[in-house]
Amino acid sequence: KTLHPVENIGFQILAPDFIISYLSDTAYTDELLEQHKESDILILNVTSPFSVKAETNLNSDDAVKLIKQLKPRLAIINHFSMKMLQADPLLEARDIAKETGVQVIAANDGYSMNLVNYSSRKRLKK
């Protein structure tokens, strides 16, 4: 019996200018691709660095798979385990960005930003 089931709830926010997808604690599944397609901004709980298997959560390898297929304009990783903190989330974000060609930010407590800059729909309106 696990105290942390793999299936969790994620959600999408459909704003006038962009779509934000938030994936809570979850393992990688192909169903995530259909559920979060067309997202401009992808927020991922990435608890573990590359090559560290996380059975009930995403690791950096999983983040690369999701980002490559979903092709958001921006990905934000958060919810780091001690192993991720020891690996340095900034370096992990940089490596994920190199592999995907998408800007990746490692969030920290209290992090905020203006998301309108990442709107594909706003660009289409111009």
Question: How far apart are alpha carbons 44 and 25 in whole angstroms?
Answer: 8
Instruction: Give yes or no for residue 7 having a pLDDT over 80.
Output: no
Percentage of the chain exceeding pLDDT 90: 64
| Confidence tier at 66 by pLDDT (50, 70, 90) | very high
Indicate yes or no: pTM above 0.85: yes
HSE, side-chain direction, 13 A CA sphere, residue 5? 3
